[in-house]
């Protein structure tokens, strides 16, 4: 069984409401979907999501597709998908960087390899530890009363009891007060975290984190720019509230340096940042060895990408800070025939061949820019 072809599609999925970050507001999410086919016609599917073109990182959907089509796909044709780690090692020797593109390729090959053995993909990564994981939701209306009402409704539904607020855009001091009022309203029923998306300098961070810590916030994500390792280390040392590295924690080398210098005491995992699922497991191992907590991050993936992340995160012993792979709840539509399940404040890990979901080809065709 050898790989015969690798196809790549760019899709634009509409969201149910604007999702605001410091650098971009998502109203339609661009994702890249990969499909690998073997000589017997079996398929494996994958996805990575991007945020605002080039506003979040260096990988745009157009560049991801072009680099796969031109440079990576030719390297995997004719290879046995069960040897996915060897395949990606050989790819890495000829293609530098391009972690998002590598993730599309590796994940599709893993899906195909697992389906060829009629097992869930998590069986190829040591087996399933968790059948479900805690799931956070982002409150994003910008109106304190509305966010409080939404949080209380989701608590009542038992859908979420962890809420994140994006506070990197606008007046940081007003944003902090907004967060404090929400935490006061939900009390001990929910954990509140914030994501700054690199928007503060160190002086602002010192003032605002002190106020957030006093208000009961349970985590502060990437308050400083990615380059400021020393500033992140000072914040981590100064405050009791955990400081998370996200945009700064990409490669295994990045995470080693963060661990060595304590430039954060928790790490957001995202397969696309590390260059695939195998590399993400290595990131998790480095963090675990350093005593750094783990968080299952999201790039706002559809049901397909969420299944990929969920199955990988299910193989990691301790996800101390839970996950935020809520992407399917933010979109108006699914790319899979079956939805991802969310219940009892957790995301249920898909269980079936490959990543446990079946692609809806009609939806791919409908949302694709071109076929």
Q: What is the structure's pLDDT at 125?
A: 97
Residue 20 has pLDDT above 80, yes or no: no
Catalytic-labelled residue, pool 65, 102, 164, 166: 166
For residue 226, the number of C-alpha atoms closer than 13 Å in the C-beta half-sphere is 11
Q: What strands lie across the sheet with 342-343, from one edge to the other?
A: 132-134, 346-348, 342-343
Q: What is the structure's pLDDT at 23?
A: 64
For the question of residue 149 being annotated catalytic, the response is: no
pLDDT tens, 306-361? Answer: 999 999 999 999 999 999 999 999 999 999 999 999 999 999 999 999 999 999 99
Q: Are 165 and 131 in contact (CB under 8 A)?
A: no
For the question of residue 324 being annotated catalytic, the response is: yes
With cut-offs at 50, 70 and 90, classify the pLDDT of residue 53.
low
Q: What is the structure's pLDDT at 197?
A: 93
Q: How far apart are CA 268 and CA 147, in angstroms?
A: 24
With cut-offs at 50, 70 and 90, classify the pLDDT of residue 28.
confident
């560049």: which residue's tokens? Answer: 63
Tokens of 190: 């929910």
Terminal-to-terminal C-alpha distance of the chain: 26
The full set of domains in the chain, from first to last, is 3-119+359-367 (3.30.390.10), 124-348 (3.20.20.120)
Q: Are 81 and 44 in contact (CB under 8 A)?
A: yes
What does the DSSP assignment read for 216-252? T--EEE--S-TT-HHHHHHHHHH-SS-EEESTT--SH
**Residue 147: which residues within 8 A CB-CB, separation 6 or more?**
139, 140, 141, 165, 178, 182
Mean pLDDT taken over the chain: 95
Residue 55 has pLDDT above 60, yes or no: no
Write out the H or E segment, with its range, that includes residue 116: helix 99-116
Within 10 A of 184 (CB to CB), how many other CB atoms are there? 12
Catalytic-labelled residue, pool 102, 324, 346, 363: 324
Q: What is the structure's pLDDT at 218?
A: 97
- Note if the pTM is more than 0.85: yes
């Amino acid at each position: 069984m050898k790989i015969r072809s690798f196809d790549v599609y760019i899709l634009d999925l509409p969201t149910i409401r604007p999702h605001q970050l410091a650098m971009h507001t998502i109203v339609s999410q661009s994702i890249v979907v990969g499909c690998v086919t073997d000589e017997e016609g079996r398929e494996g599917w994958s996805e990575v999501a991007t945020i605002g073109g080039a506003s979040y990182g260096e990988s745009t959907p157009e560049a991801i597709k072009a680099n796969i089509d031109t440079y990576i796909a030719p390297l995997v044709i004719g290879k046995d998908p069960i040897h996915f780690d060897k395949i990606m090692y050989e790819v890495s020797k000829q293609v530098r960087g391009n972690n998002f593109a590598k993730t599309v390729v590796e994940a599709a090959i893993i899906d195909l390899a697992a389906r060829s053995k009629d097992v869930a993909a998590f069986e190829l990564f040591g087996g399933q530890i968790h059948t479900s994981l805690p799931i956070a939701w982002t409150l994003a209306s910008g109106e304190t009363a509305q966010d409080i009402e939404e949080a209380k409704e989701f608590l009542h539904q038992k859908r979420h009891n962890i809420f994140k607020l994006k506070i990197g855009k606008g007046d940081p001091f007003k944003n902090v007060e907004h967060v404090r009022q929400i935490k006061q309203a939900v009390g001990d029923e929910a954990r509140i975290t914030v994501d700054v998306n690199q928007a503060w300098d160190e002086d602002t961070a010192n003032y605002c984190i002190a106020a957030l810590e006093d208000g009961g916030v349970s985590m502060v994500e990437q308050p400083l720019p990615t380059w400021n390792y020393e500033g992140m280390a000072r914040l981590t040392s100064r405050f009791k509230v955990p400081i998370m590295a996200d945009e700064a924690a990409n490669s295994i080398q990045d995470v080693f340096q963060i661990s060595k210098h304590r430039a954060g005491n928790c790490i957001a995992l995202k397969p696309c940042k590390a260059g695939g699922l195998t590399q993400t497991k290595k990131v998790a191992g480095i963090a675990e060895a350093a005593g750094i907590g783990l968080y299952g991050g999201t790039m706002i993936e559809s049901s397909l990408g969420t299944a990929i992340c969920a199955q990988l995160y299910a193989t990691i012993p301790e996800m101390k800070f839970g996950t935020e792979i809520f992407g399917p709840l933010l979109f108006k539509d699914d790319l899979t025939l079956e939805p991802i399940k969310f219940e009892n404040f957790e995301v249920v890990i898909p269980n079936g061949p490959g990543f446990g979901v079946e692609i809806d080809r009609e939806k791919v065709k409908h949302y694709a820019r071109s076929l």
